[in-house]
Each structure stands twice: as C-alpha cells, then as structure tokens.
Structure 1
Amino acid sequence: MSNTTPNWPNLPPIVVSRTVAANDLDIHILEALPPSSDPNSKPPLIVLVHGFPEIAYSWRKIMAPLAAQGYAVVALDQRGFGQTKERGKPIRRVKYEDDLSPYRILNIAADVVALVYALGYTSVVTLVGHDYGSHVAAHCALIRPDLFKSVVLMSAPYEGPPSLSAVQNPNGPSLMRMFNDQLAMLDPPRKHYMMYCSTPEANDDMINPPGGLHNFLRTYYHVKSADWKGNGNVRPLPQMSPAVLAELPPYYVMPLAETMPECLAPDAPSAEEIANNKWLTDDELAVYVSQYTATGFQSSLNAYRVMTDPPRWAKDLHIFTGKQIEVPAMFLAGVEDWGTYQAPGFVEKMRTQVCRDMKDENFVLIDGAGHWVQQEQPEAVVEQILRFIRTAVVPSV
C-alpha cells in the first residue's frame, strides 16, 4: 500500500489518502482515524461508498466529524472511479467494448468486502452508500450481515433482489427497456436516463460536452441540488407508468433526441449562483473534473448497463430472490431530491418488505438538501448517522 495524500481543497488534515490492494484492484481510499486512537487497537469502522458522478472526495465534509466520535472512517473510490485501478496497472479510460463482467453488482460488492478484510477488519459498524453506492451497500448488507452490522442507504431506495418472474425470464426485455420504448411514444417523445447512460455514445457525450467538462459537471450538480428551483415539488409518484415518469425532471426523463449535456444546458447556474455555492466551490469541483478527465465516465456508466440488462442483473442475483436485509437499516436523503421517488413504489417496498429493520425514525429527509445531501448539509448527515449508530447498533463507541 502507498500513501500520497493529494493537495485537494478543504480536505481536513486528519484525512489521509492511500492505496490498498484488494480483490483485483489497487483501491484508493481516504481514511480518517480518531485523533486519540491507540495505534495498537482498531477503532470501530465506518465505510462510505460514493455514487455517480462522484469519488471518495465527496465524503470529505463528514469524515472528520465521524472520526472525532471515535470511528475509523474509510471512503473508497469505486472500481473504475478516481484513483482506483486494476492491480499493478496505470489508471486508464475504460472503453465501451471492454469486458462488462467486472461491473456486475456482486463483483462491485466483493470489492467492498475485500477492502474491509484488507484493512484488517472482520466487522463494520455501518456501511453508508450514496446514489449507486446505495445499491452497492444494500447488496453488501443483504449478503453479508455477519460483516456489515448496519447499513445507511442514501438518495436511492433499494427495491430488493429481483422477483421470481424476472429470474424465470432473464432473457426477456427489462422493465426499464419497455418503459423507455413507451416514453418514446409520448408527445414530446422522451427517454429514460438509465437507458441513455447504457448507450455507446453516452461517455463521449459527457466527457466532451459543449462548453467543457467543468461547465457540464457544474450544471449537473446544480440541477440535482436544492439550489435548483425545479426540485421544489419533490413528491411520491402514484404509479410506474410512462405518463407519470414523464413528470420527472429532465436529468431523469430526457428529451428523446438530446444528450445529457444538451438537455441540462438550459438550466445551467448563473454566475451569481455559482459564486453563492458554498457546498461545492469551483476549486472543489476542479477535483472531480481532473479525476473524470483521467478516467472518463464509461466505468460508472457500466453500472447502468448492467442494471438494464436482465441476464446480468436478474440471473446473477436469482439466489437471493425473497431475501431481506436483516441488519438495522436507515434511509437518508434530501427533501429536494427526486432520487427518493424516481421509481414509484420503491420507497414503500424498501420500508415494508425489503428491510426487516427500518424503523420510521430511520427514514429521514433532510431540509435544504437535494441529491448531494452529504455535501449540501453535512452537519445534519453526521448527526443522523451518529444517532442511527448509537440507537440501532451500539450505545456508544
């Protein structure tokens, strides 16, 4: 393993950067240890798993406060993101034609498990996953309750393992593909962002957008935050139908003929809005820009390709059909985050069927936050995670 802490803005001094060999990867992590921890003992571990389009750096605001409460806090760059790379090889841009199998959800979950053991742990107090990382965390908790003592799912509800009908017909069209075909018949015609992200063109569209990558990412983060007024009416949707899904913002249900940069461009933040953004400064945004310039987006887009491909998704998970998450679970998101309700029915299923132990007080929506809740309202996120750990997992460190 190696230590090369980057000079990134607003990275607390307590947070160090290093690389850990695990699975077939050199996994880059950010790590914060309790200030007064005994070097001969291991403080209880919290693991943080980012989503799209983020990296371990997205957890920078909550790592030190959690560590100050006595926890070892580790945030990783997922497979294909940031500075994580294939073992012994340089960072590279994955191509659409490359083997997709490493991005199967079970292999991504295996990366997290391998990292935990490589760190010398056999128990994780809580595993926190945001956005796509929520799905990764959910599968880790589903499969390894012995290792992960609790789970926090952020901004993306988990609907559970595939149904028996999906398993019995793994080569049939995915539900998302069928809805996408129906969205194309609306007036005006639309498409679902997951299907767009699964196309060969998506990576090039987003890595080489008009106006440059910095402007595109600035707009992407803006429209999915509480700063964008278009997120002011977030609510549960009544049913899973094309007409209802068409009510979602354009970053979820896109105009059929447009790329992601094109459909978001009209809602780009003004110079004043950028200047007033305190949760993601231009210097902080430049970290994301530099990391994605090096890796491209294809690795992260491969997750969507797997999720929209029944043979890779349903068939791979069929052994877990009907299984529940047994450990204490929490859902945490921003009030102005459409990610909570983008799939009608998922929240209710998660709370009543999928998670055996998700109490009402552990379904939390935080005011003043959109999708990037741990960056927009980090103090509230820290408060809720600590409350959850202390009441649902252990009384104290």
Structure 2
Amino acid sequence: MHILEAGDPSAPLLLLLHGFPELAFSWRQVIIPLAAAGFHVVAPDHRGYGRTTSRDSATPVPVQYEDDLRPYTLLSAARDVVALAFALGYRTAAAVVGHDYGSAVAAYAALIRPDVFLSVVLMSAPYPGPPPLPFAIDNSTSMPTSGPTMPFPNADGALAALNPPRKHYATYYSGPGANAEMLHAPQGLRAFLRGYFHMKSGDWAGNDPHPLTVGDPASLAELPWYYVMPLDSTMADVAQSGAPDEDQARECKWLTEEELGVFENEYARTGFQGGLNRYRCRTDPAWMAELSVFSGRKIEVSAMYLAGTKDWNLYQNPGALQKMREECAGMDEEDVVLIHGAGHWAQQERPEEVVHEIVRFLKKVRSV
C-alpha cells in the first residue's frame, strides 16, 4: 500500500481516503497543514489505484475487467483501512476522513470498527446507510428495495425512458468498456482528466445544485451529464462537453498543469479499472447483499459531513443527505458544513477551509 504522510509518527493518526478518479495526491494541499495541527496524517492510494497493488501481492499487475471482484468490495476496502492503521502501529485513529468513494469506505470503517476509528468525516458523498433488510414482513406487504448507489428501484429503466434517454454513470462505470474509453479518450488522457475535474468543480458554470424530488425519475433529468449521461455517450464525450478552454485550464490554481500531470502519469500506467471495480461491486446486488448484515445500524462515533455548495453529489441520490443526518449518523447542526463556491473536489479547490473545518471538528470531539 502506497501512502503519503506527514507529522509525528507518535501523534494521533488521521487517515485520508480519496475518491474516483483520484489518488492519495488529491490530499496534497491539506496533509501538511493537518500534520501541523498535531496529527500523524496518512493518505493511501486505494487498492488498485496509483502505486498500491491490486492484489495481496507485491506484483504491480494492472487490474483487468475479468479479475476477481472480492478485493474491491466495500468490506474489503474497510479491511484495508483497518489493516493500514494496524500496520502503522495504531490501535485507534483520531479520525478517518473520506471523500467521494472514500466517504463510503470511511463510513463503513467507522460503522464496523468504532473501537478503532474514534470519529469520521464524510466528504461530498452522503452516507445513506447499509442496504435494508425486510422488517415485520408478516404485517406488511412493503419491501425495501433501494440500494445505496441507485436513487430508486429500476433507475436504469426510468432514465432510459426520459427524453432524451439517459443512463446512470454508475451503470456505465460498471460496464466492460468504461476503462478503455477513458484511458484512450479521443481528446487524449490528459485532456479527459482536465475536462472531468473541471466539469465537477466550482469553476464550471453548469453546477447549480438543488434538492431533487425523492422517487421522481423525471427529476433526475436535472442532474448534469456526469451523473446521468446521454444514453449513447461515453464519459470521454461527457468530459469533452464540459472541458475548459485553454485560458481557463491555464488559470486553474487548484490543479496546475504540473499537478494534472501526476494524475495523467499514474492513470496512464494503471488504467482506471481498479477504481471502476468498486462501482461494479456497488451496482451488483450480490456484492451489496453482504452489507445488509449491518441493516439498521448507525454510525455511533462523532461524525461530520463536508461538501462544496456547487457539488451535485449533495443531491444526486435524492433524500440521502437528510437520511444520513436523521438516521445513519448523529451529526450536530454545525458539523454539516457546506463550503461556499467549492465543487466536488473541496480539498483541492478550498484546502484552507477544509483544514479549518476538520481541525475545528476534531478539537471539539477530542475534548469531549
């Protein structure tokens, strides 16, 4: 497992978990400031990303679509995080912080091992709780069917019926063609990544998030294409449609050309399949079923939610944000924080504010 770290190794541990398509490098602007606040800060590349190998082996073999999916389930990812803490010599961590897909990993790590992770910070992706199991079925005909990835049952069919027809990005990511279509994007890998990062950031004028109607398929048409794609498009097409012009790209201070090159070089070497396999696990009922053993259980440790005001992930799963606050994790009102003007990549776009909020939260919960 490849990590970036800073701070005194005897200080309290703070783990930072990245999302897709990201790397440990995504935390570059916050690692040292968080270490200066008194923590041993460690950011790993997830299994199958960057310089962390995909299997329990030191052999850096690129991940293939045909590979066994067991190493990429959420439970496996949570196990990796526990194993990392132990390997570093810690029995407890002050907090686990997760962004995007890393938010789900952090949530399950805190849910399953509250003895290890004493608090949790969830960034961008609200945590809607474990898949439900039917309850009191002798007295009711209703059955819970929605999962944590799709916004409602048969979302794919409902999206395909829209005019124009659409498809869910998680379904696309779960297909066999996504890796090659992004890795070999017609505009080039670097331009694909630039467009993708730009389109989900606060810099893109199309990001004006607002709540969607729960259970209403038509409301999903309000989501941008990177969440509900045109039915016949690839993600490379979507990224190209929202790509910045040369001046915008050159003036981007939070992702310089040099920094973009780090992402380009790593993904050119590994491809995207390691990250895409997580989506395959989350859209496959067979893999999600193992999480239903935690049905009805909520996060017991202190929790914070942090996102940008221009991040559509707030609402792309209608009702998830409210459910997280009311049912899945106990959060004080002051610990649901929206950073003005930031998009999906808050720790890159607004690192000073992210550091401030995380440190504020940790000071509060560690003094209790």
TM value normalised by structure 1 = 0.87
Cα distance in 2 for partners of 1:319, 1:194 equals 23
Match of 1:328 among 302, 309, 312: 302
Shift of 1:186: 1.2
Whether contact under 8 Å (1:123, 1:146) holds in the other structure is: yes
> Aligned residue for 2:129?
160
Structure 2 residue runs of 5 or longer lacking an equivalent are none
Matched, 1:393 2:366: yes
Whether contact under 8 Å (1:92, 1:294) holds in the other structure is: no
Matched, 1:132 2:118: no
Shift of 1:337: 0.3
SS in 1 for 2:98: strand
Whether contact under 8 Å (1:207, 1:297) holds in the other structure is: yes
Shift of 1:63: 0.6
Amino acid at match of 1:358: M
Cα distance in 1 for partners of 2:245, 2:129 equals 40
Cα distance in 1 for partners of 2:168, 2:118 equals 35
Cα distance in 2 for partners of 1:219, 1:257 equals 19
SS in 2 for 1:48: strand
Amino acid at match of 2:194: R
**Residues 40-71 of structure 1, C-alpha deviation per residue, up to 9 Å, x if partnerless?**
xx111100000000000000100111111111
Match of 1:350 among 296, 306, 324: 324
**Equivalent pairs: percent with the same residue?**
53
Whether contact under 8 Å (1:91, 1:294) holds in the other structure is: no
> Aligned residue for 1:197?
173
Shift of 1:240: 3.0
Cα distance in 2 for partners of 1:173, 1:387 equals 35
Matched, 1:81 2:57: no
Cα distance in 1 for partners of 2:235, 2:39 equals 39
Match of 1:308 among 279, 283, 298: 283
**How is 1:1-397 mapped onto 2 (pairs within 5 angstroms)?**
27-34=1-8, 42-85=10-53, 86-165=55-134, 176=150, 178-231=154-207, 233-313=208-288, 315-355=289-329, 357-394=330-367
Cα distance in 2 for partners of 1:214, 1:193 equals 21
Q: How many residues align?
A: 358
Cα distance in 2 for partners of 1:331, 1:163 equals 22
Amino acid at match of 2:160: A
SS in 1 for 2:179: helix
Amino acid at match of 2:115: D
TM value normalised by structure 2 = 0.94
Amino acid at match of 1:268: A
SS in 2 for 1:123: coil
Cα distance in 2 for partners of 1:88, 1:341 equals 39
Cα distance in 1 for partners of 2:320, 2:62 equals 33
Shift of 1:87: 4.4
Structure 1 residue runs of 5 or longer lacking an equivalent are 1-26
Cα distance in 2 for partners of 1:75, 1:267 equals 29
* TM-align CA RMSD: 1.8
SS in 2 for 1:110: helix
Shift of 1:394: 3.1
SS in 1 for 2:356: helix
Cα distance in 1 for partners of 2:331, 2:163 equals 40
Shift of 1:297: 0.6
Whether contact under 8 Å (1:94, 1:298) holds in the other structure is: yes
Shift of 1:196: 0.6
Shift of 1:102: 1.1
**Residues 118-157 of structure 1, C-alpha deviation per residue, up to 9 Å, x if partnerless?**
0000111011000000000000000000100000000000
> Aligned residue for 1:3?
none
